[in-house]
């Protein structure tokens, strides 16, 4: 269900540290910074009484370490030992299915409840459906919801998000000093 983005801000911060590390070179300090953010957030949550179980904190720490190694530029400890599994993972994450899921992920996040809630509501009104075991109900709902969610997400990605990305890149180029007027003037001559 939707939640305040602030409550997941530490995840975005860890991702930003990965991007910074890839640009700057050595990745160990950024990885330690990202892990520090995770630990501080876990301590704050625990102090406020809303802490997760310890295994979830450990899972998040391992996930961040894994993401750093996945994006590793060869500067993390043990880079040589991890190079083959990292290559295989990168190959898998560069495949068609992974790219499709990555391209449509934000639209899927925005759209899924708009389709899921009405479908689940309609199914819940059917006595035969309600009488089924919960794993079967889950699979039926999933089979009915996934195709329209991903169809709408792909359509939104292709028609809205892609143009927004191109527009944003143009704005960044303009603001960074490489304006389009210079390239247009070159074409005219």
Range with the poorest average pLDDT among 74-83, 95-104, 158-167: 74-83
Domain's final residue, options 57, 72, 93: 93
- pLDDT tens track for 11-23: 888 888 888 888 8
- What is the chain's percent helix, strand, coil content, to nearest 5? 85, 0, 15
Domain range for 136: 101-181
* 81 shares its domain with 125: no
* 21 shares its domain with 75: yes
- pLDDT tens track for 121-153: 999 999 999 999 999 999 999 999 999 999 999
* 116 shares its domain with 69: no
* 25 shares its domain with 53: yes
pLDDT of residue 7: 66
* 172 shares its domain with 109: yes
> Distance between CA 66 and CA 60 in Å, rounded?
10
- 52 lies in a domain? yes
Element (H, E) at 61: helix 54-70
* 109 shares its domain with 59: no
pLDDT of residue 189: 41
- 175 lies in a domain? yes
pLDDT of residue 126: 96
């Amino acid at each position: 269900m939707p939640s305040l983005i602030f409550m997941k801000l530490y995840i975005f911060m860890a991702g930003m540290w990965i991007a910074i590390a890839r640009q700057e070179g050595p990745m160990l300090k950024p990885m330690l910074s990202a892990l520090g953010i995770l630990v501080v957030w876990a301590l704050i949550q625990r102090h406020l009484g809303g802490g997760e179980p310890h295994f979830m904190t450990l899972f998040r720490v391992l996930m961040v370490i894994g993401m750093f190694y996945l994006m590793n530029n060869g500067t993390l400890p043990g880079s040589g030992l991890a190079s083959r599994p990292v290559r295989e993972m990168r190959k898998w994450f560069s495949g068609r299915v992974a790219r499709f899921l990555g391209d449509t992920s934000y639209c899927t996040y925005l759209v899924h409840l708009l389709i899921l809630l009405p479908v689940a509501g309609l199914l819940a009104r059917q006595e035969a459906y309600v009488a089924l075991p919960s794993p079967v109900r889950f699979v039926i709902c999933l089979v009915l919801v996934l195709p329209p969610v991903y169809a709408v997400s792909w359509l939104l990605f292709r028609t809205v998000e892609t143009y927004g990305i191109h527009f944003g890149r143009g704005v960044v180029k303009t603001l960074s000093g490489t304006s389009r007027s210079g390239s247009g003037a070159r074409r005219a001559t």
